[in-house]
Chains A and B, each alone.
Chain A
Amino acid sequence: EVQLVESGGGLVQPGGSLRLSCAASRFTFTSYAMSWVRQAPGKGLEWVSALSGNGISTYYADSVKGRFTISRDSSTNTLYLQMNSLRAEDTAVYYCAKEDIAAVGYYYYMDVWGKGTTVTVSS
C-alpha cells in the first residue's frame, strides 16, 4: 500500500525554523509531483507548496513565499518542507500528499495523504 509518513513537527518560537519530512513508500517517488497542505486549528485546508515530478519546479502559496522551501531527496524517497521566519499564523497540521494525473486531460489530484504533523508557533 502506498504510504506517506510526516515527521518533524513541534513547538517553535516566532521567527524560528523547522524542517518537516515526509517519507514515501511503495511508489516510484521521482515519477510524481508532491504537495504540502496545512490546516490551522478549526479551519479549512490551505495548499502550501508543491514540487514537480522531475524535482525541478517549485510552487508556493503567497502566504509562505520567501519563507518556506520545498525539496526532496530521491535517494531516501523523502519530501521536505523547510520553514523559516515562522509566524503564529503558521500554526497548523501539515499534510504531505502525492499528486497523481489522470491519463487523459492532464487533471491533477491528491490521491494519497499522510496523517499529518503538527506545528505550533508560540512564545
Chain B
Amino acid sequence: DIQMTQSPSSLSASVGDRVTITCRAGQSISSYLNWYQQKPGKAPKLLIYAASSLQSGVPSRFSGSGSGTDFTLTISSLQPEDFATYYCQQSYSTLTWTFGQGTKVEIK
C-alpha cells in the first residue's frame, strides 16, 4: 500500500491568510494526487485532481502543485467557509486508494 503523510495535522490561521498544506507519498505517484475538503458532519468534497487541476465550481483561491512524492495544497486567501479538514488521496494504484490522515484548519 502507498502511504500518504500530511503535514501539519492541524493549523490555526486568520481570514485572509495564505495557507499551505503538504502531502508526501511513500513512493513516486507522478501526478496521481487528489485533494478533498470535509466539513463537520458532511461528505468530503473534491477540490483538486491530478495534483493541480481545479474541480469545476471550486474557487480559484485553491490551488495544487507537486509531482513524484511531494505535493502542496494552497489556499491563497483563507475565507470563513474554508475552515475544514483537508485530505490528500493517491490515485496511482488503480482503484486501490489511500488517504492522508487529514489537516484540520482552524480559526486563529
Asked whether, in the complex, the Cβ of A47 is within 8 Å of the Cβ of B43, the reply is: no
If over half of B's interface residues share one DSSP class (helix, strand or loop), that class is named, otherwise mixed; here it is loop
Restricting to A21-41, which residues have a CB under 8 Å from any CB of B?
33, 35, 37
Contacts of A57 in B (CB 8 A): 95
Asked whether, in the complex, the Cβ of A109 is within 8 Å of the Cβ of B102, the reply is: no
Considering only CB atoms and an 8 Å cut-off, how many residues of chain B contact the other chain? Answer: 28
If over half of A's interface residues share one DSSP class (helix, strand or loop), that class is named, otherwise mixed; here it is strand
Contacts of A105 in B (CB 8 A): 31, 50
| Selected interface stretch from A11-19, A83-91, A112-120 | A112-120
Q: How far is the CB of A28 from chain B (nearest CB, A)?
A: 18
Asked whether, in the complex, the Cβ of B45 is within 8 Å of the Cβ of A113, the reply is: yes
Considering only CB atoms and an 8 Å cut-off, how many residues of chain A contact the other chain? Answer: 26
Asked, given contacts A102-B49, A113-B44, whether A62 binds B99 with beta carbons under 8 Å apart, the answer is no
Q: How far is the CB of A33 from chain B (nearest CB, A)?
A: 6
Asked, given contacts A45-B87, A114-B43, whether A109 binds B50 with beta carbons under 8 Å apart, the answer is yes
Asked whether, in the complex, the Cβ of B46 is within 8 Å of the Cβ of A110, the reply is: yes
Asked, given contacts A45-B87, A62-B1, whether A116 binds B50 with beta carbons under 8 Å apart, the answer is no
User: Which residues of A does B touch, CB under 8 Å?
Assistant: 33, 35, 37, 44-47, 50, 52, 57, 59, 61-62, 95, 99, 102, 105, 107-111, 113-116
